[in-house]
Chain A
Amino acid sequence: MPETVTQMVDSPALAILIGIAGVMGALTFNALFLVWLERKASAWIQRRMGPTEVGPFGVLQTIADMLKLLSKQLITPKHIDKPLYHIAPVLVFVPVVAATSLFPFDEHIALSNLDIGLVLVFAFGGLGIVGIFMAGWGSNNKYALLGAMRSVAQNISYEIPLILSALSVVLMVNTMGGPETNGMNLAQVAQMQHDKGYWFVLVQPVAALIYFIAALAETNRAPFDIPEAESELIAGFHTEYSGMRFALFFFAEYANMFIVAMVATVLFFGGWSGPVLPGPAWFFIKTYGIVFAMMWIRWTFPRLRFDQLMSFCWMILIPLSILNLLVTAFIARAV
């Protein structure tokens, strides 16, 4: 089991500071890297160049963008719902930071090692939805409100198959391990795959597929990016936000991709487990591999219509994930 920062450092306040600094640094790097990767990946797929001017292959482009966003004037529209408008970006951003601290990126060291880590990740995901809704309502703009409503409906619906598919893995881990095993402890799930010598994607392919699709919808990524369908809704729930406030939404969006990819890495792809390279290297290679797959899909498939999106979730994904859970339970019982 990994040793946590709290166990290594004497003072809890210092441990919290180290945790926040580590997470913020990782998330900032993550956002800068992913925005650059997204632009480059979309350019490759569409036979364009993407950013080339700032730094080699344009890698410094996003740093320049960030500095621009930081120095931009904050425009506050009139007739907004002031308290909600101002709280929303913070409420979207804070849960993301908290959720990122939960992951075991190495066999020996982690920021935290909680028995309910998996549930906590989903709980923080649910908090973000409230923030998105506040943004849409507080902006007092019909496009923002429509985008927020779509986003909330979509997030609530796709949370069900997301959690059910993750639950299949939890069930399996609890059955395979002894009474001391806890499948909601992310470190233990990774450890078990390392001990067994195979990834759970091999035994739970249906759950992995359902998880991946639901994760695309949860992060509002194409082909499920209906909340900010730019051809219909300008920019959806963050239409009225500018400068750093907009950057916080953008930041949270890329951090959310990172988080769902990390959950997938731990649940289905063995976490830090892998030959030769050290644990964190494998963990981040797998995570960014999944993120790249999400980008690949975004730039390959067209956007769904809203009713298609909802009926796909309720008619196909949810029954399938319940069925998968039942089959897993029966097999676990039989073995």
Chain B
Amino acid sequence: MGGITGLLMALAVAGGLLAVSLKNVLHAIFGLALTLLAVAGLFAVLGSPFVATMQVLIYVGGITVAMVFAVMLSTVVQKHATESPWRRAGAAVVALGFAVGVGMVIAAAGLPDGPAPELVADAWTVRQIGTSLLGDYNVVFEVLSVVLLLAIIGAIVISRHEGEEKQS
């Protein structure tokens, strides 16, 4: 593990900790942005600059800003005032369960021991990613666009609903 990889990993974890611990929702979102940026850096280090760029373009430039916008458009900036111990306990159980589940999957996957194989230069060019997205993984790609469509329809439904309430 090189120094840069370690630094990026540490940054990703630090951003995640900021995202869950900060009281101010906006600060938490910017903590998340730090994590996403660090993950983009990890992609670059792992030899996939295109995915890294897309991570920055979509997640840092798009999703983070959309989240900030959602917070701004809601009337009250929440400060975790309604949090109860039960909810905290529930969240802890869910998080722990998820971590254990992921850990079991990784353990069961049987990853090879020893040093990682050499990075293949140009293993993930834009052309290859495009070919596999529209070829082998065509179904997954299309299902993803259905999810996005649902999100857009949901946004329209919510905004329409609010508009009617204001008029009445």
Q: Which A residues contact B (CB, under 8 angstroms)?
A: 81, 83-84, 114-116, 119-120, 122-127, 129-130, 133-134, 137, 145, 149, 152-153, 156, 159, 179, 182, 184
A129 to B66, CA, bound (A): 11
Secondary structure dominating the interface of B = helix
In the bound complex, how far is the Cα of B68 from the Cα of A159, in angstroms?
17
Residues of B within 8 A of A120 (CB): 53
Beta-carbon nearest neighbor of A149 in chain B: B72
- Which B residue sits closest to A120, measured CB to CB? B53
Contacts of B61 in A (CB 8 A): 123, 125-127, 129-130, 159
In the complex, which residue of chain A has the Cβ closest to the Cβ of B22?
A: A83
- A133→B60 CA distance, assembly (Å): 13
Contact (A122, B68) CB under 8 Å given A84-B27, A115-B125, A130-B33: no
16 residue pairs A–B, Cβ–Cβ below 8 Å:
A81-B24, A83-B27, A115-B50, A115-B126, A122-B57, A123-B54, A123-B56, A124-B56, A125-B61, A126-B62, A130-B30, A130-B60, A130-B61, A152-B65, A153-B69, A156-B66
- Chain B residues with Cβ under 8 A from A83's Cβ? 27
| Docked pose: A156 CA to B70 CA in angstroms | 14
Closest B residue by C-beta to A184:
B126
Q: A115-B125, A149-B72, A182-B126 are in contact. Are A133 and B65 (CB under 8 A)?
A: yes
B49 interface residue (CB < 8 Å to A): yes
Closest chain-B Cβ to A146's Cβ sits at a distance in Å of 10
Q: Is the CB of B30 within 8 A of A116?
A: no
Task: Choose one: A123, A134, A137; the contact of B57 (CB below 8 Å).
Answer: A123
Assess whether A116 is in contact with B53, with CB atoms less than 8 Å apart.
yes
- In whole Å, how far is A270's beta carbon from the nearest beta carbon of chain B? 23
Q: Residues of B at under 8 Å CB distance from A?
A: 24, 26-27, 30, 33, 49-50, 53-54, 56-57, 60-62, 64-66, 68-69, 72, 125-127
Specify which of B30, B33, B53, B64 is in contact with A123 (CB 8 Å cutoff): B53
Q: In the docked arrangement, what's the CA distance between A156 and B72, Å?
A: 15
Beta-carbon contact of B126 and A130 below 8 Å? no
A129 to B26: give the CA distance in the assembly, Å: 15
Contact assessment for A119 and B33 in the assembled complex, using a CB-CB cutoff below 8 Å: no
A134 to B27 CA separation, bound complex (whole angstroms): 10
Would A130 and B64 be within 8 Å (CB), given that A83-B27, A116-B126, A153-B69 are in contact? Answer: yes
- In the bound complex, residues from chain A placing their C-beta under 8 Å from that of B27 are 81, 83-84
B127 touches A182 (CB 8 A): yes
Distance of A306 Cα from B125 Cα, bound (Å): 40
A134 nearest in chain B by CB position: B30
* Min distance, Cβ A108 to any Cβ of chain B, angstroms: 23
Chain B nearest CB, measured from A271 CB (Å): 20
Contact between B54 and A152 (Cβ–Cβ < 8 Å)?
no
Bound: A22/B29 CA distance, A: 34
What's the minimum C-beta distance from B62 to chain A, rounded to whole angstroms?
7
A133 contacts B68, CB within 8 Å?
yes
Query: How close is B78's CB to chain A, nearest CB, in angstroms?
Result: 15
Q: Which residues of A contact B24 (CB under 8 A)?
A: 81
Distance in Å from the Cβ of A190 to the closest Cβ of chain B? 18
Q: How far is the CB of A244 from chain B (nearest CB, A)?
A: 23
Give the contacting residue for A126; candidates B26, B49, B60, B72; CB below 8 A. Answer: B60
CB within 8 Å for A152 and B127 given contacts A116-B50, A119-B53: no
CB nearest neighbor in B for A183: B126
Taking the closest CB of chain B, its distance from the CB of A80, in whole angstroms, is 13
Contact A126 B57 (CB under 8 A): yes
| B112 CB to nearest A CB, Å | 30
- The answer on a CB contact under 8 Å between B65 and A130 is yes
Nearest-neighbour CB distance to chain A for B38, whole angstroms, equals: 14
CA distance A133 to B66 in the complex (A): 11
Give min CB distance, A302 to chain B, whole Å.
28
Inter-chain pairs besides A84-B30, A184-B126, 16 sampled, C-beta below 8 Å: A81-B27, A122-B57, A123-B54, A123-B57, A123-B61, A126-B60, A126-B65, A129-B65, A130-B61, A133-B65, A134-B30, A149-B72, A152-B69, A156-B65, A156-B66, A182-B127
